[in-house]
Amino acid sequence: MTYKTILLHLDEQARRSERLAIGVRLAEAFDAQLIGAFASTLPRVPAYALVEAGGEVRELDERNRREAASRAEKDFIDTARRGAVRYEWRPAAEDDGQLEFLHDTRYADLVVAGQPDPEDGAQRAFAGEVLLSCGRPLLFVPYAGSFQKLGQRVMVAWNGSRECARAVTDALPFLRRAAGVDVVTFDTGKLRRSFVEPVEGEVAAWLARYGVKVTLSRHRTGDLDVGNQILSRAADFGADLIVMGAYGHSRVRELAFGGATRTLLESMTVPVLMSH
């Protein structure tokens, strides 16, 4: 398997340039079609407020969104043209484009998006909704830092769950190209030793059938939560990509994530591929 369609989310954020560069490099590496799409992560002005404020405010809000979408389109086309990629731009919808973007994710092999700003509720909500709803691997690019290498040294956070198995399968195109893959089990003390060791061996045998050579390691979490343990181990390994399952659920007006998922979304130091 490989990635033949990569969907790249662009918004108003200045950090989209790093995301753009990564999207082009991935499309080149996997000989994939790169599709750019704009979806605003700015909070909508409530309808009642627009009515009370009058037509001028409504027109200003709509014009700002159209201009942001136009700038994103120009950045995408200018960057994609400089690369050796096939590319396509999806015109922005009349509103913020989020529903259309979610629809587009269904027809992509990999979705690339930016890490949400922990202080921005609208960004967190959009990223969470995409992560829990798209049914595709979602590659988050940190909002700080530059990432010239991606996928050469991959750390997999393994716990045997459905979400984790899905993430590793989704990441196979990266794993098969990687120079080093570190599969790490983070032992919270709740798993029996007689269970952990066979599982680790099965992971290595499964990936070996795809030509992936892995190292296996296990870490006791102690007083440090699993999310921070993942970040610490990734730094020790020199990982340029983390692969992990995403845990959470979506309710009306609420997104709730598991501890490790929440920590990585807030504090990632390298790109993270998550699947739910």
Give the contacts of 30 (CB within 8 A, at least 6 positions apart): 2, 3, 4, 6, 173
Burial category of 122 from C-beta neighbours within 10 Å (exposed 0-12, middle 13-18, buried 19 and up): middle
pLDDT at 53: 61
User: What's residue 73's pLDDT?
Assistant: 94
- What's the confidence (pLDDT) of residue 247? 86
Average pLDDT of the chain, as a whole number: 87
- The whole-model pTM stands at 0.90
> Are 113 and 225 members of one domain?
no
Which band of pLDDT confidence, cut at 50, 70 and 90, is reported for residue 194? Answer: very low
Q: To 10 degrees, the CA torsion angle through 46, 47, 52, 58?
A: 90
List pLDDT tens digits, range 233-243: 999 999 999 99
Residue 177 pLDDT > 80, yes or no?
yes
Asked if residue 157 and residue 117 are part of one domain, the reply reads: no
pLDDT of 258 reads: 78
Same domain? 126 vs 217: no
Residues 157, 270: one domain? yes
| C-alpha 96: how far from chain center | 20
The CA R_g of the chain, rounded to the nearest whole Å, is: 20
- Residues 13 and 132 placed together within one structural domain of the fold: yes
Q: Of 141, 161, 196, which residue is a domain's last?
A: 141
Q: State the Cα–Cα distance between residues 240 and 147, nearest whole angstrom.
A: 8
**Better-predicted residue by pLDDT, 20 or 253:** 20
205, pLDDT greater than 60:
yes
